[in-house]
Structure 1
Amino acid sequence: MKPASRKPHRKTRTGCRTCKQRKIKCDEKRPSCTNCLKHSVACDFFLSPANLSPGSSVASPANSLPQYVSTPSGSVGTPASHAPGLPLPSFSRNLNLPSVRHEPVGLNMIDLELLHNFSVSTCLTLHNDPALKTLWKVNVPQLGISNDFVMRGILAVSALHMAHFLPEKREFYLSQAFNQHQSGLRTATSILPNVTEENCSALYVFSALTLFFSLAGPRDSDQLLGSAGDTGISDWLSLLQGAHSILTTALDALVKGPLGPMFEAGRRRDAMRENYALAFPPEQDPLQELRHFLNSSGVDERTFHTCHAAIEELRKSFAAIYKQGSQDREPSDIFIWLFRVHGEFLGLVRGHSQEALAIFGHFCVLLKLMDYRWWMEGSALQLLSKVYELLDEDHRLWIRWPIEEVGWVPSQEKHKVPAHNGAPFPYQGQ
């Protein structure tokens, strides 16, 4: 009996290099095949297998510039991206370039996609001020070109932006965001103890990008948030403390550097905030009850003064927001409170001081006003719920007003919060 002939297997010669190295079948989907998407690795589909030598490797995100290799002495090199058989451009014929193999260099299309998205979309969602939009569109990417960790922060935030609006590719972009940010964070952390005039702008903008990353990250995954804490509050507050230390160390250099327009705008809005606070009627102050609770709390004198100062700074922020329409508000009008309070207060929050946590709960009312921004969506409620969980039954009475103002309903398993008898804050819904 004649044995059955084996069905010939048609080999593909156009699959990606990653699948070929793993000896698995590539479905050749573009721009990334299914296998590479599944394993969250860069797909070098755009590299032609015919032009890849056995020892060549895929260009990495951090090193995708043209590579040059040696040839016998006396010969003139050509860029690796120059196709063999084509004449060199006239301007390059007389250049004394190192010699190269005639091989194309792969572009990391995922990184280019993320950078493009940041430049045309993400950067425009971070501020209302046209000058600051331009700063994030132009100055910040320029800092990224000369500082790898800043570029990785840019790509991480852009990836979260795309994950937010492309749910069908959410897991893929979340993995890109986490990998990029972790890589940038390692570099930034290593140089943070040595802040200089040369690196202060890059470190400061990376801390700002990290804040956006932390707020916009998935709130059901401590790993992707880069969070090791148990509160969901202390971890991103520590980021602000890092930014504050950079400010105190190199403020003059920051003002004179590429981020100068950001600090000039901040100076103007801070002065406006102080003026609004002076004209803020006491009857419109939503923190009166909070101040009364603190006065009768019996805390030690140092904690009292620290918390009292934090309430007064928060009152200024409420005054500024009350006087502005929603179209005039900037994120800096809200986050400035975290830069104005004493570092000791942030330490009290991170240490779960009941009084400090209750004050932070009132700050969540301001955060809720930024809920329309994709990177803030849901953060205020999440943080307020964390505050609620950490407070004892007596101090939960302190945050009755914030709970009602943001419209949050505590879980039925938790203690019910008594109704608040005070007047609602007048700017809500503006």
Structure 2
Amino acid sequence: MVLPEMSYNAPFLSHGLLSVAALHKAHLLPARRDKYLDLAAYHQTRGMEGFRSGFSSIDEKNWHPAFCFSSTIVIYAFSQAGRTTDSMADILQIFVLIRGIRSSLLGAGRNLTQTPFSAWANGIWIVGENDEASYDFDPPLDHSALPLDTFQALRRLFAFYRTNLSDCSREDYEFATLQLRKSAILMAHAGSQAEIGMVMFFPYVISASVMSDIQAKDPCALVLLSYFSVLLSLVENQFWYVQGWSKRLIEAIDLQLNGDTKFSKVARWPKTIITRHSKN
């Protein structure tokens, strides 16, 4: 009830919520998809107009509705309405968007734990975000959708970067791989109740250098994205707006790697997992 109540005093947020509702209807009713996608685009445009005209700056008084509206923008970007034929450009746009939300709205010491949105944060960090000791050991995967060899695969990825990258970029990729491991651990503990935020914190913790490599379609970044795609695939059934994304990404990555033996070999595990997942 928090978002609808907040939207009473923020018309742009009402448009954002109506846009998401229309997107969901488009997902549920394929025969009327075009009608609802048009409606979603209309409300998204109206919401953006209101947001831009009403927010010259973000402060302590207005960041709550701004955060809520920004979340609807992310959903729109993931949805069919926000997709283009270029999957790599699309995922880069989403990563940039999430990083922007994080820096502009959740900066300056702001956090969700003392707000009406605390459930969003608490639902993700079922293991303490900064409790590094809790991420040292592989949790059991008995009640998780994660492939049983997930942690072995991530260790192989870590070793690949350690062996093949120069000092200037190795640390960034090793850190990014550890963040994928953290995501997998959170999902393992969550079992069948994994939250999308357990995957989507990844874009805002990777370095600017890795982001630049994603934009440049550097093979090292593409391999990293392929492993990210596996984790994303595991929440697609619960979160309708990301359905099909992992398959889109892995196909685009495979095309970009273009049979490069070294990189295609290390990306084989994600490709196998997602191909199997998309057939189920």
Determine if the TM-score, normalized by the shorter chain, exceeds 0.5. yes
Q: Contact 1:280–1:319 at 8 Å: present in 2 too? A: yes
Going from structure 1 to structure 2, the CA distance change for 1:355 and 1:228 (only over 3 Å counts) comes to: closer
Q: Contact 1:195–1:249 at 8 Å: present in 2 too? A: no
**Structure 1: distance between partners of 2:202 and 2:155:** 18
TM score, norm. by length of structure 2: 0.82
Deviation at 1:184, TM superposition (A): 1.6
Report the structure number with the largest CA radius of gyration: 1
Structure 1: tracts of 5 or more residues without a match: 1-137, 410-428
What is the aligned length?
267
Deviation at 1:408, TM superposition (A): 6.0
Q: Contact 2:125–2:186 at 8 Å: present in 1 too? A: no
Q: Name 2:135's counterpart in structure 1.
A: 277
Q: Name 1:355's counterpart in structure 2.
A: 220
Q: Contact 1:232–1:383 at 8 Å: present in 2 too? A: no
State how 1:214-225 maps to structure 2 within 5 Å.
214-218=77-81, 222=84
Q: Name 1:289's counterpart in structure 2.
A: 156
Q: Contact 1:207–1:242 at 8 Å: present in 2 too? A: no
Q: Name 1:231's counterpart in structure 2.
A: 89
State how 1:13-52 maps to structure 2 within 5 Å.
none
Counterpart among 372, 380, 383 of residue 249 in structure 2: 383
Residue 317 of structure 1 aligns with an amino acid whose one-letter code is S
- Provide the secondary structure at the position in 2 that maps to 1:249: coil
Q: Name 2:237's counterpart in structure 1.
A: 372
Going from structure 1 to structure 2, the CA distance change for 1:334 and 1:198 (only over 3 Å counts) comes to: same
Deviation at 1:272, TM superposition (A): 9.3
TM score, norm. by length of structure 1: 0.55
Q: Name 2:267's counterpart in structure 1.
A: 399
- Provide the secondary structure at the position in 1 that maps to 2:241: coil
Q: Contact 2:22–2:36 at 8 Å: present in 1 too? A: yes
Q: Name 1:115's counterpart in structure 2.
A: none
Query: Relative to total residues, which structure has the larger helix share, 1 or 2?
Result: 2
Going from structure 1 to structure 2, the CA distance change for 1:196 and 1:229 (only over 3 Å counts) comes to: farther
Identity %: 22
Q: Contact 1:149–1:187 at 8 Å: present in 2 too? A: yes
Going from structure 1 to structure 2, the CA distance change for 1:267 and 1:290 (only over 3 Å counts) comes to: closer
Q: CA RMSD in A?
A: 3.1
Deviation at 1:160, TM superposition (A): 0.7
Going from structure 1 to structure 2, the CA distance change for 1:186 and 1:390 (only over 3 Å counts) comes to: farther
Q: Name 2:197's counterpart in structure 1.
A: 332
**Structure 2: distance between partners of 1:388 and 1:273:** 36
**Structure 2: distance between partners of 1:212 and 1:392:** 31
Q: Name 1:30's counterpart in structure 2.
A: none
Deviation at 1:190, TM superposition (A): 5.5
Q: Name 1:94's counterpart in structure 2.
A: none
Deviations 1:167-197 (A, max 9, x none): 2321111100011112222343566662211
Residue 45 of structure 2 aligns with an amino acid whose one-letter code is Q
Counterpart among 63, 67, 71 of residue 200 in structure 1: 63
Residue 268 of structure 2 aligns with an amino acid whose one-letter code is R
Deviations 1:141-162 (A, max 9, x none): 1222212221111111110101
Structure 2: tracts of 5 or more residues without a match: 140-148
